[in-house]
């Protein structure tokens, strides 16, 4: 009986993780600039979405891929992954992606992973072996101030506040703040209700 309960719990967590991943990926076109500036400190002035399916001898699919130009005039590739579970093989996976991207585009590649899982973040962000040292930027979304996103003019960004650090506030209070921020948006009431309901995930 205990084994069955554990399986049901795992199934529920898997479904919630898939829902988070779906929401982030669907809203990526809108929230990408905010993620780059607010979380990674990059002042991107221009960007072009690239195909998220990478294929040479095999095909790999990524969460977000853009050729960007920053405020300093530097052009490079941004590869972003949104992760809902700890993956001990993430570093080697990112290294494989980076090699393919460099080969395809011939540009510097910057890689970022946003962790939005329920479990404590514990996956490695580097490989340190003889003749191989590789790192990528790993961010725990739950450590980011939720206020960063509440102040946005875009609803898609405001919803991200739910994944951030509540700063000691009760979760219901943060949800109320998000709903209030959405309510101030100049959109029709039906749309507001539909969006607000997604705060419950």
What digits encode the pLDDT tens for the residues 97-134? 999 999 999 999 999 999 999 899 999 999 999 999 99
What digits encode the pLDDT tens for the residues 13-72? 777 777 777 788 788 888 888 888 988 899 888 999 887 776 655 667 889 999 999 999
Architecture of domain 15-143: 3-Layer(aba) Sandwich (3.40)
pLDDT the model gives residue 199: 54
pLDDT the model gives residue 68: 96
d(CA 104, CA 56) in angstroms, rounded, equals: 8
pLDDT the model gives residue 201: 47
**Domain coordinates in residue numbering, the chain:** 15-143, 144-201
What digits encode the pLDDT tens for the residues 169-201? 898 988 888 888 877 777 666 555 565 555 554
Q: Whose structure tokens read 């891929």?
A: 65
Spell out the residues 6+ positions from residue 119 whose beta carbon is closer than 8 angstroms to its own.
85, 86
Q: Quote the tokens at residue 102.
A: 């460099």
Q: Over 80: is that where the pLDDT of 73 sits?
A: yes
What is the rounded average pLDDT of the residues 140-149?
92
pLDDT the model gives residue 190: 58
Q: Distance between alpha carbon 168 and the CA centroid of its chain, in Å?
A: 23
pTM: 0.71
d(CA 35, CA 15) in angstroms, rounded, equals: 24
Quick one: pLDDT band at residue 90, thresholds 50, 70, 90? very high
* Angle at alpha carbon of residue 45, lines to 48 and 64, rounded to 5°: 35
């Amino acid at each position: 009986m205990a084994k069955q309960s554990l399986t049901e719990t795992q199934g529920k967590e898997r479904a919630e993780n898939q829902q988070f991943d779906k929401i982030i990926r669907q809203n990526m076109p809108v929230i990408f600039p905010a993620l780059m500036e607010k979380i990674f400190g990059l002042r991107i002035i221009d960007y072009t979405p690239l195909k998220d399916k990478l294929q040479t001898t095999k095909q790999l699919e990524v969460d977000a891929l853009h050729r960007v130009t920053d405020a300093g005039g530097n052009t490079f590739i941004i590869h972003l992954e949104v992760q809902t579970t700890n993956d001990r093989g993430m570093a080697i996976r990112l290294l494989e992606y980076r090699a393919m991207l460099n080969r395809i585009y011939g540009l510097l590649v910057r890689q970022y992973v946003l962790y939005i899982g329920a479990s404590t973040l514990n996956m490695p962000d580097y490989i340190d072996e003889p003749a191989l040292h590789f790192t990528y930027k790993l961010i725990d979304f739950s450590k980011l101030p939720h206020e960063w996103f509440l102040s946005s003019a875009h609803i898609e960004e405001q919803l991200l506040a739910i994944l951030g650090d509540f700063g000691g506030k009760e979760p219901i209070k943060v949800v109320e703040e998000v709903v209030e921020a959405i309510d101030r948006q100049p959109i029709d009431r039906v749309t507001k209700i539909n969006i607000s309901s997604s705060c419950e995930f």
